Amino acid sequence: MNKYLEISPEVSRALQEGRPVVALESTIISHGMPYPQNVETALNVERIVRENGAVPATIAIIGGKLKAGLSKDEIEYLGKKGYDVTKASRRDLPVLIAKGEDGATTVATTMIIAAMAGIRVFATGGIGGVHRGAEVTMDISADLEELAQTPVLVVCAGAKSILDLGLTLEYLETKGVPVIGYGTSELPAFYTRTSGFGVDYRLDTPEEVAAAFRAKLDMGLKGGMLVTNPIPEEYSMDPAVINKAIDEAVAEADALGIKGKQTTPFLLAKIKDITGGDSLASNIRLVYNNAALAARVAGRL
């Protein structure tokens, strides 16, 4: 066992008994929304995973330990501490561990810790990707590199629509990451069900998704698989409204010189303000939807 890794008793038992487990990230708790809504959402996501037949394993770094499976008190702790918790990607792990600090795990870091623990399925909101203007800034999320090398199936609502979706898909193709549309042939765009970009394959049942990922694992192919699950129709936002809000937020971020790991939290918060909170409500619903699907896929896997 990795000396830096702590797996909760519940998650450890489930893994030993071969029961389905779903990894959940913690950036959404510390950086995704305000307290106490962040804690309520995190606990609801865990409940939804259980209701769909799997064991939730919320992942974070607490006191320099990689944690797979958090207690309610630990989730509350991260929620209250909020932005004071480091948003931790792959590059941050060595220093956070060595200094005994806390970290809220991004998609990339959640995948790393899930793989260490033996968890194969992970539910999140949306992945990071190639940022707009990346041909100049080279701002490309570490999530894409992690998908290229870490054997975890990631269920999301597509790439965040603040990104350059076309370049994100091109990057994933180059890295050999299969992009699956769950019940759709078009890439969902986080807040909306459509983007104008196609996915690699459409699969329509948890059984089909699990079989494809099992084949990938059995062949020893490196990397993960991205399953894009459209936001439920009743919570999907008007593309014109959300795209206008995104354009305004991106322009303000550029004007303020906001870059790097601060970019996504700033843009999501700004979009929430511009849309009067509608984007946050949609964000929560798509996370719930992804958690349910991930649990069903984990059960078949």
The rounded distance, in Å, linking the Cα atoms of 254 and 276 is 22
Could you give the residue numbers annotated as active site?
25, 160
Contacts of residue 263, Cβ cutoff 8 Å, sequence gap at least 6: 131, 139, 253
For residue 122 the two structure tokens come to 């992970």
Task: Look at strands 225-228 and 121-123 and give their pairing.
Answer: unpaired
The Cβ of residue 47 has, within 10 Å, a number of other Cβ atoms equal to 13
HEC string of the chain equals: CCCCEEECHHHHHHHHCCCCEEEECCHHHHCCCCCCHHHHHHHHHHHHHHHCCCEEEEEEEECCEEEECCCHHHHHHHHHHHHHCEEECHHHHHHHHHHCCCEEECHHHHHHHHHHHCCCEEECCCECCEECCHHHHCCECHHHHHHHHCCCEEEECEECCCECHHHHHHHHHHCCCCEEEECCCECCECCECCCCCECCEEECCHHHHHHHHHHHHHCCCCCCEEEECCCCHHHCCCHHHHHHHHHHHHHHHHHHCCCHHHHHHHHHHHHHHHCCCHHHHHHHHHHHHHHHHHHHHHHHC
